[in-house]
Amino acid sequence: MCWGLAGLCGARTLPLSDSTSTSKSFDVMDYGAKGDGMKDDTDAFAKAWNAACSAKGSPEMIIPSGNLFRVGPIQFTGPCESNHVHVTVEGDIVGPPPSSWKGASKETWLVFSHVNGLIVDGSGKIDGHGPAWWAQACRQNKGDICANPTALTVEYSSDVRVSGLNIVNSQQMHMGIEQSTSVTLSHLTIRAPGDSPNTDGIHIQGSSSVTIENCNIGTGDDCISIGPGSSNLNISHIVCGPGHGISIGSLGKGTEKANVQGVHVTDVNMTGTTNGVRIKTWQGGAGTVSDITFERITMDNVDRPIIIDQYYCDSNYRCQNKTSAVQVKGVKFIGVRGTSVRPEAVTLACSKSVACTNILLDGIDLKTVDGEKTVSYCLNAFGSAKGQVIPKPCLD
């Protein structure tokens, strides 16, 4: 998949106005939105945000229920006058087809940028109308660039809470968190078909102090992916599947220096995913992955439950052997239980030049779907096992 949530070259960026309105509620219908699914309501959303962002106190932008709003690429840009901006999404938002983007960047769709103190919640649906985009995705067509939009992006922001939304059939990734701090995502439902390309549920990059909890995610790529520059992440009570599991990486592509630290993933149920919990790095990179915990993970019919893969190579590329690598250390797998599709349930394939160190396997119980014996594979992986560990550990 493609990392990086680039800025919008041609999307509508919203300047602050000089409004001194005392109103605290800003309904998009009052700014010209029709909500009929036909008219382009982008300008109405822009005006409502501009008014809310310019207001003092605790302004609320309202996207009312019972309506379908067609909205093009847009940036809801701060900083705002208030550090308590509330966006209530009860109506449904649908994206336009690729032909309607009119020169705007196709890397992002709905973006909150440079906003400090933001709540986005409600029971509304954000629908990217992905099928029109998936046919031209780079994973489907090897010569194409990975430039389909992320449905909802939070960037360069802090003290953000997003909850309750249904995000479906994104053009590419469903939600991205980039260059932000103190972000909480909760009670989100994210769905796309299992064969939809590059449709990660949530991608985090360059961000710290991020909490993801009580979310139900099923897509055609990683349920949650963690990119470079991420730290202090707490992920818990997640239902994942279909998809590619929860992944740190890929990291270190093209000699990139990538650091990820302080990631704690707990209480996750995975069903029918191609991977379970995974760390993946390219050969030739640099940096460190450290202080990682995967705990109380339940696997049901998962193809590869536990993976460290330091030889990751996307099928679009012909990869050469390289000696440098991202260092992986201090990784704990605790209480990982359930069923594996294949006998090799634990794969720890570490760099020959930079070993994985301080790996802990504690209370692992993985059997095949048929109840047969499972096995482990290790390459240059050092650490220890504690308690019952099935399959038999192979750590040095």
Nearest to 280 by CA among 305, 242, 253, 262: 253
d(CA 203, CA 107): 14
Residues 6+ apart with CB under 8 A from 137: 144, 146, 148, 172, 197, 198
Nearest to 9 by CA among 78, 102, 83: 102
d(CA 90, CA 111): 18
Structure tokens at 134: 């998936």
Residues 6+ apart with CB under 8 A from 371: none
SS3 354: coil
Residue 250, preceding peptide bond in cis (omega within 30° of 0): yes
285, 359, 342, 284: CA torsion to nearest 10 = 10
Asked if 244 is an active-site residue, the reply is yes
Active site residue: 86, 174, 203, 244, which one?
244
Nearest to 94 by CA among 148, 35, 161: 35
Burial state string for 349-379 with b = 16 or more CB within 10 A and e = fewer than 16: bbbeebbbbebebbbbbbbbeeeeebebebb
d(CA 74, CA 77): 9
The dihedral built from the CA positions of residue 151, 281, 285 and 205, taken in this order, carries a sign that is positive
Q: Which residues pair with 307 in a beta bridge?
A: 278, 347
The sheet carrying 202-205 orders its strands as: 12-13, 74-77, 108-113, 150-155, 175-178, 202-205, 224-226, 246-251, 277-281, 306-309, 344-349, 375-379
Nearest to 149 by CA among 180, 131, 117, 171: 171
Concatenated DSSP letters of 290-340:
EEEEEEEEEEEEESSSEEEETT---TTS-PPP-S-B-EEEEEEEEEEEEEE
- Just list the catalytic residues: 244
